[in-house]
Structure 1
Amino acid sequence: MASSSNLDIPGKKTPGADFGTSLVASFKSSSPLAKELLARDLAELEEYEESDDDAYADTRRRRSRGRASVVSDGSDHGDEHPGPTLYRRPSGIAFGTIRPALGPGGPVEGPILTKAERNQSRDAERSLLRDNHILPPKHHREAQKPPSLLSALYARIFSTKVPRRDSDAESPPQLVVSALETDPLLGGGARVEEEEHLDEQWEAAVAAGVIRTTWQREAKTIAIYSRSLIVTFLLQYSLSMASIFAVARLGTLELGSVTLASMTANITFYAPIQGLATSLDTLCAQAYGSGNKHLVGLYLQRMVYFLWLLIIPISLVWLNAERILSSMIPADSAVLAASYLRIILLGTPGYAAFEAGKRFVQAQGLFSATTYVLLVAAPTNMALNYLFVWKLGFGFQGAPMAVAITQTMLPCLLFLYVWKVDGSQAWGGFNKAALRNWFPMVRLALPGCIMVVAEWFAFEILTLACGRIGVTTLAAQSILVTVTSTTFQIPFPLSVAGSTRVANLIGARLVDAAKTSAKVTVVFGVIVGLFNLTLVASLRYKIPLLFTHDDKVIELVATTLPVCAIMQLFDGMAAVSHGLLRGLGRQEFGGIANLVCYYLIALPISFGLGFGLNWGLEGLWLGVTFGLLIVSLVEYWFIWQSDWDQIVKEADDRNTSA
C-alpha cells in the first residue's frame, strides 16, 4: 500500500494475486501526499519510541500487537493473500443541508474488509461462478417435467443465470468441484478445501474472460446497495428540512429568511468543512489498511483541530452577516438570516467534529454507525424544532436553537457508539503529534473543498438573486429548493451505489460486466427521474400547502413546479453520470463539466430568462434545468467514448503501485 517498507504487511504474495484485487484495490488511493504524511508520522513515532517516551512507546506496542493479530488471522483482512473481493458497501456519507451536484472527487481508498464482509465477498464470487456455469448449481435437481409457461417466464425475468452461448462448449473446464457441494455428508474439511481453491477458480475464470453478469443480478445488487443509503441521506437532510418546516408557518418573511440563512451557512461553513474532511477518506483508510490503526485516531484529532481553527474566521463573518447580507437583499430578511447564523454558530464545533468522526468510523468499515446516530438525532431534532418554535414560543429563533443542540449532540452520540459498540480499536489516545504535519493534510483536502464549494455556490447565487426580486419570490425559492433537494436524496444514493459496483467490476477486470452494471444504473436513474417528475408535477398545488398558506407564494410555487418536475428527469440522469465517472476514475472530467455547465451555461441562461426576459422564478429554474440536461449528455457521451479496457489497465497500474 505504501512505498515505505514500514507500511507493508508481511506476507508472501502468491503468483495469481494480481487478479484478486477487485474491490479494495480499485479504491486504493495512490496519492503521494497521503503516503508522504503516513510515512512521516510513522517515522516521528519511531523516534519518540526510541527516546523512551512512555506514551508513544505504549501506542507503538499496541500497534505492533494489532498488526501481528491481523497478519496471524488469515480469515480477516490482513491475510497474506486476501484473494478476490467482489464486495463493498458504498460509503454512507451524507452531504448535509443542500444537494451537491458532484460529491467529493477521487476514488478514495475504502476500508479493509471485515471477516463478515469477506464471507459476503466469497458468496458473491461463488454465486457469479455458478451463474456462469463454472461451478455446479447449489441445488441439484432431479429430472423433472419441463417447466410451465408461467415458471419459465418468471425464470426468464428474474433469474440471474447467464444464458449459455454456442461458444460455451469451448469454455475452460471446471478447475475444482467442491466436495462440500456434491456431498453434504462430508465434514468441515471440505469447506476449507473449497475456500483454498476459490481464489484459483476465480482468477482463472477472470483471466479466461468467461465471467459475465446479467441485468437481473446488477439490478438486485444496486437496489440492495441503494436502499440503506437512501435512508441515511434522507435522515441527514431532515436535520435542515425540519427548520424550514418549523418556521414556514410563521410567515413569508421567516420562510425566505431561513432558506437564505441555510444557504449562507452552506457556502461559508458546511461545504468547506465537508470538502476538507474528505481528505480523511484517504488518510484514515490508508492508515487503517496498512495496519497502523492508531494513526486513524491521530488523523481524526488533526482534522478536528484544523476545522475548529477555521471556525474563528467563519464566526467573524457570521457575526457581521447582517451588514453583509443587507447590501444584497432586503433589510428585514437580512436581519432574520443574521440572527439565525449567530445562534447556529454555537453548534459548529460539534458539526465539524461529527464530519471528521464519520470518516473515522467509515475507514474501519463501520458504515452503519452514522445511520444509528441519525436514527436518534433526526427525530430529536424534529421534536426540538416543534418544542422551541411553537410550544415554548421562541418563534424564529427556536429553529437555529434546535439545530445548534442537534449538531452538538451528533459527535456525542458517535463517541458513545465508538466507546460502547465498535471503533475504539483505532483510537490511540490523545497525541501531541496531532499539532504537527498539517500542511500535507491541507494540500490533500483543498481539492475536495473547492469541488464542493464551487457547486454549492451556484445554488447560493440563485437564492440571492431571488432575494433581490422580493420577499415572496425568496419564500417560493425556499420551498422549491427544499423540494428538489429532498427528491435528490433518491438518485444521488443510487449514483453512489452504481459508482461502487462499477468500480468493483473494473477492479476485477470484468469490463463487460462493468458495462452491464453501468447500463442498469442509467436505466434506474431514468426510472427514478420519471418517478420524481410524476410526483412533483401531480402534487404541485399540494406541496406548497405543507409550508405556507400565503396565496401569492402558493401560486408562484405551483407555477414553477412544472419546470422543477422536468428538472427531476435530468437531475436523475446527471446524478448517475457523475457516479459512473467516479466509478471509472474519471471524476476530473465530471468536475470540469459541472463547472462549465453551471457557470458558463446554466447561470447565464437563468439570469437572461429570469431578469432579461422578466420570466422571474420560472426563468431562473429553466436555466438550471437546461444546464443539468447539457452536463448529463456531455458526461454520457464521454463515458460512451471512453476506452474501458484502458481504464482497467490504469486501475491495475494504480493498485500495483499503491
Structure 2
Amino acid sequence: MPNQFVHTDSEQRSSVIYSTSNGKGGLFFPADYIPSDINGPIADETEDEGTSSSSDNLNRLNQQQGASAAAAGSQPKDTDEMQFLLGDDDADAHGSHNMHYQSIHESHHNNAPLLSPSSRPQQSFARRASMAKSLIDEERDLLMDNKLMDSNVRVRSRANSIVESMYGNAEPTDLDAASEIITTWNEAIDSGKQIESSFKRETTVIAFNALPLIFTFILQNSLSLASIFSVSHLGTKELGGVTLGSMTANITGLAAIQGLCTCLDTLCAQAYGARNYHLVGVLVQRCAVITILAFLPIMYIWWSWSEALLALVIPERELCALAAKYLRITALGVPGFVLFECGKRFLQCQGIFHASTIILFACAPLNALMNYVFVWNKSIGIGYLGAPLSVAITYWLMAIGLGLYAIFTSHQTNPMKCWHGLIKRKQIFKNWQKMFGLALPGIIMVEAEFLGFEILTIFASHISTDALAAQSIVSTVASLAYQVPFSISVSTSTRVANLIGASLYKSCIITCKVSLLLSFVCSSFNMMVIVTFRYQIAKMFSKEEDVVTLVISALPILAFMQLFDAFNASTAGCLRGQGRQKIGGYINLFAFYCIGIPLSYILTFILDMGVGGLWYGITGALIMMSICQGYAVFHGDWQQIMDAARNRNSEAARV
C-alpha cells in the first residue's frame, strides 16, 4: 500500500490482526498505550548491547557519502543537508513515514518558516526530494485537482535518482519536475490557499489500496475455511468438533500470540528508524522466545486437560473429545505460527510488507490441497485429524517460507542487515516488562473479540449439534464476506492518517464519506450474493438436511447484517486514522458485551429463535456501533486531532 503525504509516526503503525477462525479480523494500534518513556529503554538497551547509536551510524554514513561524492568530483552542500538526505533516503528505503516531510508541513500550516529565506528553497527541496516518488506525485495530483498546476508534471525516477541529480548523475528533467511540484505546493500553502481532494480522487486511492488487501485477507481466512469445508462433509459432529477446536485454539492461544507480537510494531519500527539494526533482530528473537515459553503451559493444557475443561461448558461430550484431538494436533504447529508472526514484523518494520502475502499465495493453496489429501484421500487420508494436521504443517511452512525470503531476497533493503546471529542468553528477558506493557492492551482487545464469538459458539452448542454445525457455517460465511469492507477500512485508516499528517482535514471528511459509500456498495453486493445463493452455500458446506435448513434460515439475517457490518468497519477505520481508536474500542466492547451477547441469549433461549437469534443479537450490536462510531467520526474536533498527530510525530522525532 503506497504512502500518501505523511502518515502518523511509527508508534502509530498498525498491526493487522488476521482472523484464522470463524471470527473476524481487527486492527490494533499501540500508539495510545505507549508509555511516555518508551524511547528511553530502547536507547538504554541499545547501549548496553554494544550497538552503535544512530548518530554514530549517521556520522559513518556521512563520511562514506562524503568520500563517494569526493571521488565523483562533487561535494555535498553541507553536513546538515547530507544528514537529512541520508535520513530521508533511508526512511524511503524501508517505508517508514518521513519525519522531515512532516515538519515541513507543520511549519507551513503554522505559518512558521522552516529555514531562512535564503536557504529554505534549496534545503526544503533537498529534504523532500529524497521522498518516495509516490509522495511527490500525490502532491502533483492534488495541485492539479485544485487547478494550481496546469501541466501534467511527472517524476520518472524514485528518490535515489532525484538525490543523485544533486550530484549531476540523473536527468535534469526529474529534478525540474520534483522542484516544480514542491515549489508550487509551498507557494500554495504559504499563500493560504485551500488544497482539497475530490470524491473521485479519494475513491481511486482507497480502492487502489484496498484491492491487494482483499486478496491477502481472503488467503489468510482460507486457512480455516479449508478445514471447515473439508471436515463439514464428514458429518455434523465432526463439523462441530473442528469449529469448537478452532475457536478454542484462537481464544486460548493464537489470539494471545497475535496480541503479544503487536509490541514489535512499535519497538522494531523505532529501533529501525534509529538505525539500531542489531536491536531489531534482538527484539524479534526475544519476543519469539518469550511467546513460545508463555505458550508451553497452554500447550500442556491442550494436551492433557482440554477435553475435561470443555466439558464444563459444552454438553456434548463427543464434541469435546473431537475438539481436544484438534487442539493436540494444532499445538504442534503453534511455534511455527509464533515465528511467522514475529518474522512478519521483522520484515514489515523494514518496509517489506509484501513478503507475507507472497508466502500466503503459496501456502494457502497447499493448505487446501493438504486438507483434501489428509482428510479424504483413500491411501494416506486420516479423516478428521487430517484437518488440524494440515493447519499445523501450514504454520511451519509459513514460518520457513518467510525465513527463506528474508535470507535470499534481492530486495534493496537487505533485511538480513538486522540479523546478527542468535540472541544471547542474558538478553532474552531484558526489558521484557516493556514488551508486555505494549502487548497487554493488544492481547485484551483481540481476546475480547474472539471471546465474543466463542460465547456464541457455546450458545449454539447448548441448542443442538445441528445448531452448532449451522453456526459454524454461518460464521464462516460472515468472516469471508467481511474481508472486503475490512480491506476498505484498513485503506481508509491509512489515507485519513496521511491527510491529517498533511493538515488537510477537509479532505479527511471527503475520505470518510467515500469510505462509507464504498462500504455500502460492497455490503450491498455481499447481501445480494448471500440471499441469492443461500441454498447453494448451505449445501456446499453440508449434506445434512437439518443443518442445511438451519443455515438457509439464518443466511438472510446475515445478509441484512452486512450493511451494518461494513458501516461499522468503515467508521472504525476512520477513527483509527484520526488516532481515536480508544473511542472505537470502548464502543465495541459496550455494544458487543452489553447489547449483542445479552440480546443473542434472550432471543435464542428465552424467545426460542434458534441460530437466527444469535445473529439478530449481533446485528443489534453492530447497529449501535455504527451509529455511535459514525457520530464520533463526523463530530470530532479536527484541530485537536491534528494537534495530537503533531505531538505524536514530535515525540517520535526524538527517538
Place the TM-score, normalised by the shorter chain, in its bin: 0.7 to 0.9
Displacement of 1:620: 1.2
In structure 2, what is the equivalent of residue 655 of structure 1? 649
Q: CA-to-partner distance for each residue in 1:323-366, whole Å, 9 max, x for gaps?
A: 11122220010000000000010000000111111111111111
Q: CA-to-partner distance for each residue in 1:592-615, whole Å, 9 max, x for gaps?
A: 101100111111111001001111
State the alpha-carbon separation in 2 of the partners of residues 314 and 459 from structure 1: 20
On the 8 A contact 1:222/1:497 being kept in 2, the answer is: yes
Distance verdict in 2 for CA 1:235–1:22, change over 3 Å: closer
In structure 1, what is the equivalent of residue 38 of structure 2? 34
State the alpha-carbon separation in 2 of the partners of residues 193 and 451 from structure 1: 49
Match of 1:494 among 483, 488, 492: 488
In structure 2, what is the equivalent of residue 645 of structure 1? 639
Displacement of 1:555: 0.3
1:356 counterpart = 2:369 = no
In structure 1, what is the equivalent of residue 261 of structure 2? 277
3-state SS in 2 of match to 1:365 = coil
State the alpha-carbon separation in 1 of the partners of residues 245 and 558 from structure 2: 22
Equivalent position amino acid for 1:374 in 2? L
Displacement of 1:543: 0.5
In structure 1, what is the equivalent of residue 382 of structure 2? 394
1:561-600 pair list within 5 angstroms: 561-600=555-594
Displacement of 1:632: 0.7
In structure 2, what is the equivalent of residue 429 of structure 1? 421
1:178-327 pair list within 5 angstroms: 188-196=171-179, 198-207=181-190, 208-319=192-303, 320-327=305-312
Displacement of 1:204: 4.0
Equivalent position amino acid for 2:171 in 1? G
In structure 1, what is the equivalent of residue 16 of structure 2? none
Equivalent position amino acid for 1:364 in 2? Q
Equivalent position amino acid for 2:101 in 1? G
Displacement of 1:129: 1.4
3-state SS in 1 of match to 2:351 = coil
1:403 counterpart = 2:418 = no
In structure 2, what is the equivalent of residue 8 of structure 1? none
Equivalent position amino acid for 1:268 in 2? T
Displacement of 1:655: 1.4
Match of 1:505 among 478, 490, 499: 499
On the 8 A contact 1:23/1:85 being kept in 2, the answer is: no
1:83 counterpart = 2:101 = yes
On the 8 A contact 1:345/1:404 being kept in 2, the answer is: yes
Q: CA-to-partner distance for each residue in 1:359-392, whole Å, 9 max, x for gaps?
A: 1111111111001010111011111111111112
Displacement of 1:38: 1.1
Percent identity between matched residues is 40
Q: CA-to-partner distance for each residue in 1:474-522, whole Å, 9 max, x for gaps?
A: 1101101110011111111110000100010001000111111111001
Distance verdict in 2 for CA 1:439–1:363, change over 3 Å: same
Q: CA-to-partner distance for each residue in 1:450-469, whole Å, 9 max, x for gaps?
A: 01101111110000111111
State the alpha-carbon separation in 1 of the partners of residues 185 and 10 from structure 2: 16
On the 8 A contact 1:85/1:122 being kept in 2, the answer is: no
Displacement of 1:57: 7.9
Displacement of 1:43: 2.3
State the alpha-carbon separation in 2 of the partners of residues 201 and 84 from structure 1: 17
State the alpha-carbon separation in 1 of the partners of residues 389 and 471 from structure 2: 23
On the 8 A contact 1:536/1:562 being kept in 2, the answer is: yes
3-state SS in 2 of match to 1:32 = coil
In structure 2, what is the equivalent of residue 102 of structure 1? none
On the 8 A contact 2:288/2:342 being kept in 1, the answer is: yes
Range that drifts further, 276-285 or 427-436: 427-436
In structure 2, what is the equivalent of residue 420 of structure 1? 408
Equivalent position amino acid for 1:40 in 2? D
1:340 counterpart = 2:326 = yes
State the alpha-carbon separation in 1 of the partners of residues 635 and 86 from structure 2: 44
Displacement of 1:654: 2.1
Displacement of 1:393: 2.6
TM superposition score normalised by structure 2: 0.81
Match of 1:557 among 546, 551, 573: 551
Range that drifts further, 468-477 or 70-79: 70-79
Equivalent position amino acid for 1:83 in 2? Y
3-state SS in 1 of match to 2:90 = coil
Distance verdict in 2 for CA 1:485–1:520, change over 3 Å: same
State the alpha-carbon separation in 2 of the partners of residues 336 and 485 from structure 1: 23
State the alpha-carbon separation in 2 of the partners of residues 477 and 117 from structure 1: 50
3-state SS in 2 of match to 1:542 = helix
On the 8 A contact 1:606/1:622 being kept in 2, the answer is: yes
Displacement of 1:33: 4.8
Displacement of 1:205: 2.6
State the alpha-carbon separation in 1 of the partners of residues 149 and 179 from structure 2: 15
Structure 1 unaligned spans of 5+: 1-18, 49-55, 87-112, 141-186
Tell me the number of residue pairs that the alignment of Structure 1 and Structure 2 aligns.
559
Displacement of 1:531: 1.1
Equivalent position amino acid for 1:225 in 2? N
Displacement of 1:193: 4.3
3-state SS in 2 of match to 1:541 = helix
Runs in 1 of length 4+ with deviation above 6 angstroms?
A: 57-64, 66-70, 113-117
Displacement of 1:124: 1.3
Distance verdict in 2 for CA 1:469–1:294, change over 3 Å: same
1:375 counterpart = 2:361 = yes
State the alpha-carbon separation in 2 of the partners of residues 121 and 499 from structure 1: 17
1:54-93 pair list within 5 angstroms: 71=83, 73=86, 76-78=89-91, 82-83=100-101
Q: CA-to-partner distance for each residue in 1:222-263, whole Å, 9 max, x for gaps?
A: 011000000000011111111111111100100111011111
Distance verdict in 2 for CA 1:254–1:511, change over 3 Å: same
1:365 counterpart = 2:378 = no
Equivalent position amino acid for 1:496 in 2? V
State the alpha-carbon separation in 2 of the partners of residues 115 and 326 from structure 1: 64
What RMSD over aligned residues (CA atoms) do the two structures have, in Å? 2.8
On the 8 A contact 1:298/1:431 being kept in 2, the answer is: yes
In structure 2, what is the equivalent of residue 121 of structure 1? 135
Range that drifts further, 63-72 or 501-510: 63-72
Displacement of 1:85: 11
Distance verdict in 2 for CA 1:503–1:613, change over 3 Å: same
State the alpha-carbon separation in 1 of the partners of residues 103 and 205 from structure 2: 15
Structure 2 unaligned spans of 5+: 14-30, 66-81, 93-97, 105-126, 155-169
State the alpha-carbon separation in 2 of the partners of residues 209 and 485 from structure 1: 45
Equivalent position amino acid for 2:89 in 1? D
State the alpha-carbon separation in 1 of the partners of residues 236 and 630 from structure 2: 41
State the alpha-carbon separation in 2 of the partners of residues 60 and 420 from structure 1: 30
On the 8 A contact 2:11/2:266 being kept in 1, the answer is: no
On the 8 A contact 2:260/2:442 being kept in 1, the answer is: yes
On the 8 A contact 1:34/1:444 being kept in 2, the answer is: no
Displacement of 1:139: 7.7
TM superposition score normalised by structure 1: 0.80
In structure 2, what is the equivalent of residue 134 of structure 1? 148
Equivalent position amino acid for 2:325 in 1? S
Displacement of 1:428: 2.8
Equivalent position amino acid for 1:262 in 2? S
1:163-182 pair list within 5 angstroms: none
In structure 1, what is the equivalent of residue 439 of structure 2? 445
State the alpha-carbon separation in 2 of the partners of residues 428 and 199 from structure 1: 40
Range that drifts further, 601-610 or 417-426: 417-426
